[in-house]
Chain A
Amino acid sequence: MLVLVLDSATPAVTAAVVEVGEPGVGDPGVVVRAGRSAVDARAHGELLAPQVDSVLREIGARPRDLAAIVAGLGPGPFTGLRVGLVTAAGMGQALDIPTYGVCSLDALGWSAARVNGPGRAAPGKVLAATDARRREIYWAVYADRVRVTEPQVGRPVDVAAAVARMGVLSAIGEGAHKYAAVLPLALLDEPRYPTAEALAALAAERVRAGRPGERLTPLYLRRPDAVAAAGRKPVLQA
């Protein structure tokens, strides 16, 4: 089954067409047929749709050949995050195919377990972290691909204290790299951002089973700054 995978929860914006087949031992049964990823936090809105168009063209597929869409739900900076989700939701509606959401940090957790896999060093719990701006990170802890905390947002020093208590030894993701000085953990070099393979693998069971599509609800984790739009000045200067 051909599945479109989108993620815009980090400075990277990613689109890929993935073939979801039967899994084997140590094989998630997903093959990336074509993928694009660009790192530019301020241009998700411009980059994503052309990426989708070009991955489909690359494999000679039409949008109607897609069986499902998988999208990273964040957490991530709001504006960029919404680009991926609304693109996925609109395409899902237009094509009348199901959409499935995956926590974008889970994709990093999944990749960490692959890197750490049998015969590799640094087993045990892994911190997955992405940049939340405002000197904070989005983070969650994984034990062999299973998330053992809720996705959260916090200051790197506080996260460092929390993961020390949990016995976390290594970390993955651009958030961990950016604050490496504060997070005393062994860094996994790659991937820095959620990969299409990981996102697809995490949704593959739902795709194969033909589960009902899900509403793509973003993981914002922060309330909106409740300040009315600027430019309309107060009535009388005090």
Chain B
Amino acid sequence: MADEPLVLGIETSCDETGVGVVRGHTLLADALASSVDEHARFGGVVPEVASRAHLEAIVPTMRRALDEAGVTLADVDAIAVTAGPGLAGALLVGVAAAKGYAVAAEKPIYGVNHLAAHVAVDRLEHGPLPEPAIALLVSGGHSSLLLVDDLAGGVQPLGATIDDAAGEAFDKVARLLGLPFPGGPPIDRAAREGEPDAIGFPRGLTAPKDLAAHRFDFSFSGLKTAVARWVEARERAGEPVPVPDVAASFQEAVCDVLTAKAIDACRAHGIGTLVIGGGVAANSRLRALAEDRCAKHGITVRVPRPKLCTDNGAMVAALGSHLVAAGVAPSRLDLPADSAMPLTVVSV
């Protein structure tokens, strides 16, 4: 429908420069530039390298997005931008750029939460999100279960990781196994050749005594240490490390806990919709296991296509268009980038 809001989204919270264009629930463009290769040799994202790359990439990425969508800045109804959480310097490039575009084109600006955008992006794939819904947010920096009463403003955390994020665990285990950064995709690939029950790695915070205090929380640090010990023992014994089996067994442990707790949250709150977002939602095993288990419990699971799970501009535009449609007031031009923006703040 032509009267649905046309919104541009800008994402620069980490190492991806993303510009997306969305009309209502329809994705029109999703342009992306990544500095991931520049960080690979450091085994993690170098903030200043990422910030420099954003500055170089933003104008050409904007050009591609507008061309792909076949629109001009004058056509858009609003500009949304990730205001946090993320790397401070990287966020600031996107926020300042968005303000430049907004001032020049005389458009309202929405500073939005990156994590809420990871959840909102599913609107582009599966239409409006039934509310309330349970959201499982699993990314490089976060692992949370959320009760979403209203995506435009009412997001309530049920639990979160008490140590490493799920994506972080993938990245660290990949490093142990000599696989490249970021570790999610190569582990996903290696695991296809391995046995998920080859090694019985621990499932964090699932013992009855842990469930009392941490029913909806996660812990992946013990799992990572268990993998490290197992690999070390093999190496010390001079035996080869069966990378596919380790990858598959580790991945199984992560996906088992994520899906079990997500379904438990749905049942505890009597909610029939689970939406999964964030980079780890691109994981093939997580997607399959969630489908499987949700089907058994009569829960509808919604996971966007892998490209929309990792950071991108379309997710920011998707949340922005929802905010515009919901009549949420735009942000002020002096909106700050907030590297520690809390999950409960959807827009500033």
Contact = CB atoms under 8 A, between A and B. Distances in A.
A117 interface: no
B51 A82 contact: yes
Interface in B104-150: 104-106, 141
Contacts of A226: 42, 46, 49
Given A49-B334, A93-B62, A218-B55, A82 B44 contact: no
A89 B58 contact: yes
Nearest to A56: B103
B322 interface: no
B49 A224 contact: yes
B103 to A, nearest CB: 5
Interface in A10-47: 45-47
A143 to B, nearest CB: 32
A78 B48 contact: yes
B45 interface: yes
B87 A90 contact: no
Interface string B67-94: 0000001000000000000011100110
Contacts of B224: 235
Interface in A47-68: 47-50, 52-53, 62-63
A42 to B, nearest CB: 10
B55 A82 contact: yes
Contact of A49 (B89, B96, B172): B96
B47 A229 contact: yes
B101 A90 contact: yes
Interface string A60-89: 001100000000000000110011011111
Interface band, chain B: 35 or more
Contact of A63 (B62, B104, B168, B335): B104
Contact of B99 (A49, A78, A93): A49
Given A95-B104, A235-B224, A236-B225, A87 B97 contact: yes
A63 B106 contact: yes
Given A50-B334, A82-B55, A91 B103 contact: yes
B59 A90 contact: yes
B187 interface: no
Contact of B100 (A49, A62, A229, A232): A49
B180 interface: no
A229 B334 contact: no
Interface in B30-76: 39, 42-49, 51-52, 54-55, 58-59, 62-63, 73
B316 to A, nearest CB: 15
Contact of A46 (B51, B55, B228, B334): B334
B103 A52 contact: yes
Main secondary structure of the interface of B (DSSP, over half): helix
B333 interface: yes
Contacts of A88: 100
A233 B171 CA distance: 11
Nearest to B91: A45
Contacts of A91: 100-101, 103-104
A236 B164 CA distance: 13
Contact of A224 (B48, B99, B101): B48
B329 to A, nearest CB: 17
Contact of B58 (A47, A90, A95, A232): A90
Given A49-B333, A235-B224, A94 B49 contact: no
Contacts of A93: 59, 62-63, 101
Contacts of A227: 42, 46
B44 A229 contact: yes
From A50, A91, A94, residue with most partner B Cβ within 10 Å: A94
A85 B333 CA distance: 17
Contacts of B100: 49, 86-91, 94
Contacts of B297: none
B336 interface: yes
Contacts of A95: 104
Contacts of A50: 333-334
A49 B81 CA distance: 15
A235 B106 contact: no
A2 to B, nearest CB: 13
B55 to A, nearest CB: 5
Nearest to A99: B59
B315 interface: no
A232 B171 CA distance: 10
Interface in B301-338: 333-337
A82 B93 contact: yes
A74 B94 CA distance: 19
A16 B49 CA distance: 30
A225 interface: yes
A228 interface: yes
16 contacts: A45-B337, A49-B96, A86-B55, A87-B100, A90-B99, A90-B104, A91-B104, A94-B100, A220-B52, A228-B44, A229-B44, A232-B168, A232-B172, A233-B164, A235-B176, A236-B225
Q: Which 6 A-B pairs have the closest CB atoms?
A: A228-B44, A90-B100, A224-B48, A94-B104, A49-B99, A87-B100
Given A47-B334, A78-B48, A82-B51, 13 more contacts: A46-B335, A48-B96, A48-B99, A50-B333, A63-B104, A79-B92, A86-B100, A87-B99, A88-B100, A93-B63, A93-B101, A224-B48, A228-B39
